[in-house]
Structure 1
Amino acid sequence: MKKLILTAVAAVFAMGVSNAQDDSNGGPTSEGKWLVEANTGNAVLGSTGIYFSSIDGESTYNVGLDGGYFIKDDLAIKAGLGYGGGSEDFDRSVVSYRIGAKYYVKSMIPVTLDYTGASVEDLDENPSYLGLGAGYAWFVSDTVSIEPGVRYNYSLNDDFYDNQFQLNVGFALHF
């Protein structure tokens, strides 16, 4: 499973880089464009982001990507997938997923609303969150943006999981 997800991540990244040169139909957030992004993640959440943590010899990791399609200028419908696990105390597989929307106010202030969930091996109750985030899209070129932001994740099963606030940095390809 790990190799499959890593291969898919590499393939999507390569496709984005190879197609990133074509800017014949408007700006990076124009209708009909695609978005592929990797974000820093949070070990507490089911995550489609990328993270690694090691504390006192115990480690956890996750790798994932989000992708989206601009259905109109500045508005993308997104989905994401991630895979993670850890060592000894957290020796479980975690498959995470996300679905939602991202709107770029004035084509540079991304605001997201999405549902994030995870399937954690051997758990009776899995995390699920409704997330709201905002940030700033710094376009280093017409096809690449760096997007620092803040996010609040409201737990939909708060008997087991708390609401989470996070700071993150996203890296996006627009093609």
Structure 2
Amino acid sequence: MKRLFLAAFAVFAFASVNAQDDSSGGQTSEGKVLIEANTGNAMLGTTGIYFTSSDGSSSYNIGLDGGYFIMDDLAIKAGLGYGGVSPDGGDSVSSFSYRLGAKYYVNSMIPVTLDLTGASGDGAENGAGETPLWLGVGAGYAWFLGDMVAIEPGIRYNHSLNEDFTDKGVFQVNIGFTLFL
């Protein structure tokens, strides 16, 4: 598993260093800002958006990521999320999630991400009081709908960095909605 992450990091670093100059002023140009909302996954701390309900219990999350393009096609990102669980007949719990990372657009249309995601609060802890921490790598495709909006379906793998919380990784398929300013 460590080899997979080292290989992904090496590809990401190589792509970042070899970024091509794009003076066309496109959506992913240096100095632009991005704001994105993604579908989420209730299995880990997330800055995505989701709602689930089953047998009287419900869980939800709402969050956004934002980023700044420090060079053409490469954005540094941060995100925040807030979510909770309302179990049937039990006390509601809530948690805050955060994400820090980078997003590189290969050929200005294939987003590749590398980030760290975590959560804190009563709703994020396991029975031993441990909170999640994940290293995530993802890729997708950006369908640009004009000059300011893109729909970005993608896949993502999250590797747990806190084995006291869980030793399992989480695979996700999600859809992102990105606004470029």
TM-score by length of 2: 0.80
Alpha-carbon separation, structure 1, partners of 2:54 and 2:170: 20
Alpha-carbon separation, structure 1, partners of 2:91 and 2:72: 42
1:107 alignment partner, SS class: coil
Deviations 1:42-100 (A, max 9, x none): 00110000000111121000000000000000000000000000212572111000000
Alpha-carbon separation, structure 1, partners of 2:69 and 2:132: 28
Alpha-carbon separation, structure 1, partners of 2:174 and 2:50: 11
Alpha-carbon separation, structure 2, partners of 1:135 and 1:158: 28
Deviations 1:6-65 (A, max 9, x none): xxxxxxxxxxxxxxxxxxx81000000000000000001100000001111210000000
- 1:128 and 2:133 equivalent? yes
Alpha-carbon separation, structure 2, partners of 1:160 and 1:99: 20
Alpha-carbon separation, structure 2, partners of 1:90 and 1:51: 20
Alpha-carbon separation, structure 2, partners of 1:90 and 1:69: 39
C-alpha change, 1:90 and 1:104, in structure 2 (3 Å) is: farther
Q: Whose Rg is larger?
A: 2
Structure 1, unaligned stretches of length 5 or more? 1-24
Q: Quote the sequence identity (%).
A: 68
TM-score by length of 1: 0.83
1:144 alignment partner in structure 2 = 149
8 A contact 1:60–1:87 mirrored in 2: yes
8 A contact 1:60–1:90 mirrored in 2: no
- 1:172 and 2:174 equivalent? no
Pairing of 1:109-128 with structure 2 (within 5 A)? 109-121=110-122, 123=125, 124-128=129-133
- Structure 1 segments, 4+ long, off by >6 Å, are none
1:107 alignment partner in structure 2 = 108
8 A contact 1:68–1:78 mirrored in 2: yes
Alpha-carbon separation, structure 1, partners of 2:64 and 2:33: 13
CA RMSD of aligned residues (A): 1.3
2:71 alignment partner in structure 1 = 72
